[in-house]
Amino acid sequence: MTRPLIAANWKMHKTISEAVAFSKQLKKDFTESCEVDIVIAPPFTALFSVAEILKDSAIHISAQNMHWEDKGAYTGEISAAMLVDAGCEFVIIGHSERRTLFEENDSMLNRKIRAALRSGLKPIFCIGETLDERESGITFEVIKKQLKEGLNNTTSSDIGKIVFAYEPVWAIGTGKTATPFQAQEAHSFIRETIARDLAYGRASETVIIYGGSVNPENAGSLMDQPDINGALVGGAGLDSGSFADIIRTSER
């Protein structure tokens, strides 16, 4: 059985002191062994401080973004090596807000994924359709293109190190959530595409998580679906109690 993964993406929230307080509480809540991989993604400013708090725990640290170059004249950017140095094990790549607000395309995301893998980071690769694309009936075409182009020039070994996050853009920060059926249908398609088109023979073991207004109330029905292995949590991941409730739901 694939081990669930629950990640909290804090986006542009929490000062260092707020992030440290949250991390201490989360560490206290999950001092014993957990059947779920727990990941939190603080803003860049808090990464090192949070990593110091959690270094003796089973809770993992993720960055929210990175640049594809190792170093250079890229004012305001962060490299994979810098993230590793700050204590990160994961990095979110291709979040819908990066795609829409910052116009990151599949080619850029492919370069980021390959740079992350070279540095030993595990990408949490986000894919998903807009409302217009869903209503036009091209959801699967969009997902297939994002997978194919985002993973261009990667190997089967690389794919085994990637966490895939299906996040329908129309459900990000809107309060809307894909129904369990809609989410399962998309997750099943992603798994089939990884097996068939990307020729990854261990696709059944691939971790595919759902993102899109996940909260303690809907997490259970989503986690009950056979191809959903966890969640990428936004707003509910800012509250330690709500996030802990989602984790416990996933342990069932």
Please enumerate in sequence order all residues whose Cβ is within 8 A of that of 70, keeping only pairs 6 or more positions apart, or say none. Answer: 79, 80, 81, 115
Torsion of CA 45, 50, 52, 56, to 10 degrees: -160
CB distance 206 to 184 below 8 Å: no
Closest to 30 measured CA to CA, from 64, 53, 11: 53
Length of the chain: 252
Catalytic-role residue among 95, 97, 129, 133: 95
Residue 183: HSE in the Cβ half-sphere, 13 Å Cα cutoff: 33
Catalytic-role residue among 97, 104, 133, 167: 167
CA 225 to each of CA 116, 135, 187, 211: distance values in angstroms, whole numbers, following the listed order: 30, 23, 9, 14
Question: In this structure, which amino acid lies at residue 83?
Answer: L
Question: In this structure, which amino acid lies at residue 186?
Answer: A
The helix or strand, by DSSP H or E, that contains position 100, with its residue range, turns out to be helix 96-101
Active site residue 95: yes
Give dist(CA 147, CA 153) in Å, integer: 12
Catalytic residues: 95, 167
